[in-house]
Amino acid sequence: MSKFDSEKLQKLKRIDNLLKSLCFFPLNKKNRPLIIDEPIAEIVIIAIMMIGDTIMSIPSLAVLKRNFPHARITLICEPVVKVILDDQNLADNFIVVNSPWLHNNYSVKNIRQLINGIKKANKTRYDIAIDFRGDWRNIFLMNFIRAKRKVSFDYSGGEYMLTDVISEKPAILHYIDQWLYLLKSIGCTVYDDDKYPSLKLTVQAEQFLNDFKTRHSLQNTFVLGVHPGASLTTRKWDEKKYIELLLKLSKKNQNLKILLFEGPNESLTILKIKNALMSERVDTIVVNESLKNYITLINCCNLLICNDSGAGHIAGAFGIPSVIIFGKSDPETVKPYNRNYIRIISHFNDNIKKMQDAGNREYLESITVNEVYKAASNFIDTVNNPHYIK
């Protein structure tokens, strides 16, 4: 499985080869017992992730909790990770940093914050440190953490900084399955059903959700959630197509309310779609909330339509039926896992895969309104059937 684009991988390999030549005592040159057979009291995870990866890490965190019930789990993580997982009972401690490489911001402030995070982490001596992503930069960070065992994949090098090197298994494509495979490799018991992420709402979140539904009269209507934005333009389906799709769906379904979810730097996209819908008298509500409230309000939706983004993963973790439009990414590696209805719209294939570059949008532009309409309409028709059981 290709974890990194070729240009990034080459850069990491060059740095890795330099440091490898300076390493006289590789950590992985010793025989050690299986981790599951050792007494484990402290676990630290390098969780330098954004929204989608955070949701995909939930199954692995849950498996760790089950296999090491008496261990304390610490996450060295991005701020969004703490927002998502803070009240999910999957981690006991969060050390929040803004990683320079994830944001491409190597300012003195970010580097100082990272160093302070390492110092804070090292007040504890850990039995295991894990990086699920196999990213050399995460492994390098983990190299400075006081831990008896250090575990990660060998995707981009850095194996000399690890005590336990997990080799890639090409037959396992999806990130969630890869990360669960890492845990199997250190002796954890993993069941087939473990792969589904699950988020739970707090009592306060439930109250906020119910108040929102009442305020906007969302009872007894079909609520269609739409997040038309994405962090990368190569993942963003055309706004005009979203407008055409939503007008078509609203004409067919009179009892339809649309929630437009707005993410960071997406105000222009949302404004264009909202204005087009309002001009046709389509009942539309814009959701511009904090990440915590955004996550809660996904639960208003009977169906969510979105691009390849964190929104689809959040919906999957709540079991919200979804239609997800994929562009550059291979869905088999990063699609949301959802116990309920999910349809992936993707034209990803070997030919397009060869053409992946920063400006290539052919895979997205070839997806038609009718394809997405059919997937969404089929589900709405099913729900509107009097014999439908939720």
Q: Same CATH fold, 203-384 and 6-195?
A: yes
Tell me the three state secondary structure of residue 84. helix
pLDDT in tens, 140-163: 999 999 999 999 998 888 999 999
pLDDT (mean) for 371-378: 95
pLDDT band at 390 (very low <50, low <70, confident <90, very high): very low
pLDDT tops 50 at residue 283: yes
Question: What pLDDT does 30 receive?
Answer: 76
Distance separating alpha carbons of residues 371 and 367, to the nearest angstrom: 7
pLDDT tops 70 at residue 316: yes
Question: What pLDDT does 386 receive?
Answer: 44
pLDDT tops 80 at residue 125: yes
Question: What pLDDT does 319 receive?
Answer: 97
Question: What pLDDT does 6 receive?
Answer: 65
pLDDT tops 80 at residue 238: yes
Q: Taking all residues of the chain, what is their mean pLDDT, rounded to a whole number?
A: 91
* Single-letter residue type at 217: S
pLDDT in tens, 40-82: 999 999 999 999 999 999 999 999 999 999 999 999 999 999 9
> Quick one: which H or E segment has residue 318?
helix 310-318
* Single-letter residue type at 308: D
pLDDT tops 70 at residue 190: yes
Question: What pLDDT does 327 receive?
Answer: 87
pLDDT tops 90 at residue 351: no
Question: What pLDDT does 363 receive?
Answer: 80
Q: Is the dihedral of CA 341, 352, 133, 164 positive or negative?
A: positive
Question: What pLDDT does 28 receive?
Answer: 81
Distance separating alpha carbons of residues 34 and 55, to the nearest angstrom: 28
pLDDT in tens, 128-137: 999 999 999 9
In terms of pLDDT, which residue wins out, 112 or 9? 112
Tell me the three state secondary structure of residue 300. helix
Question: What pLDDT does 362 receive?
Answer: 77
Question: What pLDDT does 16 receive?
Answer: 73
Lowest pLDDT segment from 108-112, 260-264, 339-343, 363-367: 363-367
Q: Please count the other Cβ atoms lying within 10 Å of the Cβ belonging to residue 256.
A: 19
Query: Which of these CATH numbers, 3.40.50.970, 3.40.640.10, 3.40.50.2000, 1.10.3470.10, describes 6-195?
Result: 3.40.50.2000
| Annotation: CATH topology of 203-384 | Rossmann fold (3.40.50)
Question: What pLDDT does 258 receive?
Answer: 97
Among 345, 335, 341, 386, CA closest to 368: 345
Write 263-266 long-range contacts (CB < 8 A, 24+).
263/227, 263/229, 263/294, 263/309, 263/311, 265/229, 266/228, 266/229
List C-alpha distances in Å: 344 to 86, 139, 281, 322, 324: 29, 33, 29, 8, 5
Write down the domain spans for the chain. Answer: 6-195, 203-384
User: Percent of the chain at pLDDT above 90?
Assistant: 77
pLDDT band at 384 (very low <50, low <70, confident <90, very high): low
pLDDT (mean) for 260-273: 95
Among 113, 119, 188, 182, CA closest to 150: 182
Pairing, β 93-96 against β 342-345: unpaired
Report yes or no: 74 and 57 within 8 Å, Cβ to Cβ.
Answer: no
Q: Which bin fits 165, alpha (ψ -120 to 50), beta or left (φ > 0)?
A: beta
pLDDT tops 70 at residue 121: yes
Find all residues with CB under 8 Å of 282, minimum gap 6, and list them.
Answer: 246, 247, 250, 256, 258
pLDDT tops 90 at residue 299: yes
pLDDT band at 355 (very low <50, low <70, confident <90, very high): low
